[in-house]
Each structure stands twice: as structure tokens, then as C-alpha cells.
A = this chain, B = another copy of it.
């Protein structure tokens, strides 16, 4: 049974989620399977996943277009309880544990075996975003836990174990460390300046332009000033909003355009394609509606973190974000030009 443990010294939560008899050979690097015949996420293989939690269909008996199932190897479980084997550790200040209760879901983005989200059409990606909103809303309404994070792992270097386009949802009984740090910084800025720091940031990036990748209808894409890794990109809504699950349909539609464009641009630069995508949205309580601002962080995985990063919590990034943004604008321009020209095939 998984268990949440807090580091005795710093604010760092770890989900200890192992079979206690696990052997070293269980932890070899993930290998991305591209075997379509054995893909559990493809249409026709529904029996290979745990039972469906939610799905988008044109009609009740129509085939699914987006499908949500529990993760087969969950880090957090709705019914997690105290594990008798480790309970002894929780009686002291140094060793804090709590049951790893929450949810760990997989959002299968398409019934087709596509590896890149940019192979989805914008309309399909829009439906995926509708499912993000629905699942976040469901868990906020349940209010059993404290926070929900949606993320994507793409490519072997991104930690993906299955190639078929999918996202994951992790609902946690604690506010994750990085989100808590953002919340604290946002609240402090609001107290001092009376404004949302992310709103200021977007306007500064738009005005400066050096790190801008694209300025879409309602959404701004830029390489962040202190990018941790090469090609890091953030997507921020220009309308201040803390909760992703309160977005309107027309906003989701515009986000689908911006996200599709960003992923297509990154996927044509990265070789092999490997990245993590994270959706940061407000915790379930509504106390930060004024100062928090949901956003998407895309973190390509073309370099490895090493001892300095693990020891310091700081990063060495060999690619200035201004250089990354200039190259992404150039690649994006090329893609748009190609899209505008009918190809020999379609003529």
C-alpha cells in the first residue's frame, strides 16, 4: 500500500509506492513501447486497462474519443489506509507519514495509436482539454483531497512507459511542494503590489518580446526567464484565473489552438521527442483565487540533471531562453508557411 512520507529535514513529500519484495531488476529504465499490437490504450484493448472512470462519446453507445481509467500502478489510491508495517514510524516528529490517499488516473487522449499530441487535430486536443476540466472539476467537487495536477510524460527520456498519447492526473492529500511555493510567492506579491505576479509577468514578456514564442488569442507562450532546461516553454492565459476547471468552452477552444501550435513547434525541434508537460492549477480550497494564476509548463528533456541539480536545487541551463525563443519562433514560422502551402499530395 503506498504511503506519503515527509523528509525529516525539508518540506519534501515522497510517495513510497513499492511492492516490498521488489527486486533491483524491476527498476531498469522505462522503455517506450511502440508495439501497436500490444498497446493497452488503443481502441479494442479496453479490457487491458482498469475499469473506465469517464469517457467522451458522441452518443452513449458510440465509440469513445477520450477515455479516463485508473492508473494500473497507482502512486495514490482513493482508499489508501495506514499501513500497519510502517505505522511505528509515524509516532515521532522526525518521521511523518500519511496514507497515500488520492487518485492517479490516466487520460487516454485518442483511440488511435498516436505518439505525439500534435498528431491529434486541434478539435481532438480541444476534447482532451474538456476532459481535463471535467476530471479536475469532479475532484474539486468531491473535496476529499487538496490538489490535483495533470501532467504528461512523452518519450523515454521523459519517463513515459507507453507511447500512445496520454496524460495523467494526480490528486493529492497535500499541496505539492512546488505549487505551495508558487502560492506563497503569489500571495506575498499580491500583499506588496496588490496585483497578480503572473499577470505582470505575461505583460512584461509580451512587451519585451525576446522570450516570446507566440502570442495567441487569449494565451501567451514564452520561454521563461529562468528556464531550468533547454527549450522550456510556459503557456499562460491572459485572463486572470486561478482554477483551470472554471474555464469557459470558448477559452478551452482557444487554448487548444495555442497548445497544439506549441507542441507541434517543440516536437519539430526535439529529437528524439521527450518532454514533460505540467498543468498547475489552484488547490481545491478557494482562498487563492485572487493571487494564483493557472498555467502550463512544458519541460523538454534533452539534457540530464546531475549532481549539482540534485544537491543544490539550482539548475545549469546551456541554452539561454532568448536563444531558444528565437529558434522556436523561426521553426514555428516554417511550420506555418508549410501549412499555408497545399502539398503535392493534397493538390
Any B CB within 8 A of the CB of A254: no
Stoichiometry (number of copies) = 2
Q: Does B226 lie within 8 Å of A5, measured CB to CB?
A: yes
Complex Cα–Cα for A280 and B314 (A): 14
Any B CB within 8 A of the CB of A54: no
Any B CB within 8 A of the CB of A117: no
Q: Does A95 lie within 8 Å of B225, measured CB to CB?
A: yes
Any B CB within 8 A of the CB of A248: no
Any B CB within 8 A of the CB of A263: no
Q: Does A158 lie within 8 Å of B8, measured CB to CB?
A: no
Q: Does A24 lie within 8 Å of B226, measured CB to CB?
A: no
**Among candidates B159, B311, B316, residue contacting A278 with C-beta atoms closer than 8 Å:** B311
Any B CB within 8 A of the CB of A118: no
Residue on B nearest A75 in the bound complex, by CB: B316
Q: Name the B residues within 8 Å of A340 (CB-CB).
A: none
> Which of A178, A204, A320 has the most chain B CB within a 10 Å cutoff?
A320
Q: Does A27 lie within 8 Å of B319, measured CB to CB?
A: yes
Q: Name the B residues within 8 Å of A278 (CB-CB).
A: 307, 310-311
Any B CB within 8 A of the CB of A21: yes
Q: Other than A8-B201, A8-B226, A11-B181, give 9 A-B pairs with Cβ distance below 8 A.
A: A9-B185, A14-B317, A15-B314, A29-B302, A94-B200, A149-B308, A153-B307, A177-B313, A278-B310
Residues of A participating in the B interface, judged by any CB pair closer than 8 Å: 5-22, 24, 26-30, 75, 86, 89, 92, 94-95, 149, 151-153, 156-160, 168, 170, 172, 174, 176-179, 181-182, 185-186, 197-198, 200-201, 204, 224-228, 230, 269-271, 276-280, 297, 299, 302-308, 310-323, 327
